[in-house]
Chain A
C-alpha cells in the first residue's frame, strides 16, 4: 500500500487496496457514501466490469453517472431515473405547447397589423412551427409516473458532473 490510505471501496470491501486498484481514482477514502450507494445498487463486481471495459479518460464520467443513477434508485426504488426522465419529457411537451401558442399569437398580431401584406414569418420561426417534435431521438416514457416520495426538484437543476 505504500502508506497511503485505502480507497473507499477497498475499505468497505475490507481488502488490500492495490496500487492499480480500479476504484481508487474515483472513490477517495473521504467519501465513503459514494461507493456505498453504488455498491448497494450495482455491486462492486459489476461496477468494476463496467469501468474495465472503458478507456481511462471516460471512467470518471461513468462513475458520476453510476452514482447519479444509484442515488435516484435509492430515493425512488420503483422508478429510479426513469421517473425523472418522464417528468422532464412532460416539461418539454408543455413548453412546446406554450411555444406553439405564443407563435400563433405573433402570427395573429402580424396579420392584424398588416392585413394587406403576406405574413412576414422569420425563417427560424417557420422551421420551429413546422418541426413537430423536440424529442426526435428520445423514446417517450410519459406513462411512467414517480413514486410519491420522490422530490423532483433536485433532479431538475442538479449538477450531474463533479
Chain B
C-alpha cells in the first residue's frame, strides 16, 4: 500500500510494516530527515542503532541526534559536528582566560583600595618640603576617613583633602 508509508520505507521503496522501526521517527512529511540519515549512516545501521535502544522516547531522541549529526556531516564533510566541539573548546578556553584576568583585576583593585586606606590612617607629621603645608598626624575629619592638611601660615579657611 502506498498511503501510510513512513519516509524511510518510501525512500527504500518497500512496504511499511505495522512494526516498522523507522515509522515513529521518520514521518512521511519530512523526506529530507531520512535522506540525510541514510546518506551518512545507511538504513541498516540506523535500524540496528534504534533497535538497541529500549524505550520509544529515547529512540526519538536518538533519531533527532542522528539527524543532527548527519546534517552537519553533509554540510561539513571533513569535520561534521566535531568542528562545533572544537570551536566550543576554544570559546571555553578564551572565556576562562578572560575570567581569570578579570578576577585578578578585581583582586588588584581591592588590594589597592585597602592599601590606600591604611596609608591614610598611618601617615606621620612632617613638613612638606616644597610648600608651607603642615601635615597633621592621625587626624581624621568628621567623615572619619580622610585627613586634611593646613598651610602653616594660611589665613584661608579652605582645607584640601589629601591622600
The answer on a CB contact under 8 Å between B78 and A65 is yes
The answer on a CB contact under 8 Å between A78 and B58 is yes
Question: Which one, B9-17, B60-68, B123-131, B139-147, is touching chain A?
Answer: B60-68
Q: Which residues of B are in contact with A by a Cβ distance under 8 Å?
A: 39-42, 44-45, 49, 52-53, 58, 61-62, 65-66, 68-69, 73, 77-89, 91-92, 94-96, 98-99, 102-103, 105-106, 109-110, 112-113
Query: A5 an interface residue at 8 Å Cβ cutoff?
Result: no
Chain A residues, CB < 8 A from B66? 80
Q: Which residues of A are in contact with B by a Cβ distance under 8 Å?
A: 40-43, 45-46, 50, 53-54, 58, 61-62, 65-66, 68-69, 73, 77-85, 88-89, 91-92, 95-96, 98-99, 102-103, 105-106, 109-110, 112-113, 128, 134-135, 137-138, 141, 144, 147, 155-157, 160
Cβ-Cβ contact count across A and B, 8 Å cutoff: 133
The answer on a CB contact under 8 Å between A99 and B99 is yes
Chain A residues, CB < 8 A from B103? 102
Chain A residues, CB < 8 A from B58? 78, 147
Q: A61-B79, A81-B85 are in contact. List 19 more A-B contacts (CB 8 A).
A: A43-B41, A62-B79, A66-B80, A69-B82, A73-B69, A78-B53, A78-B58, A79-B61, A81-B69, A81-B80, A85-B85, A92-B88, A106-B102, A135-B91, A137-B87, A138-B84, A138-B88, A144-B61, A160-B86
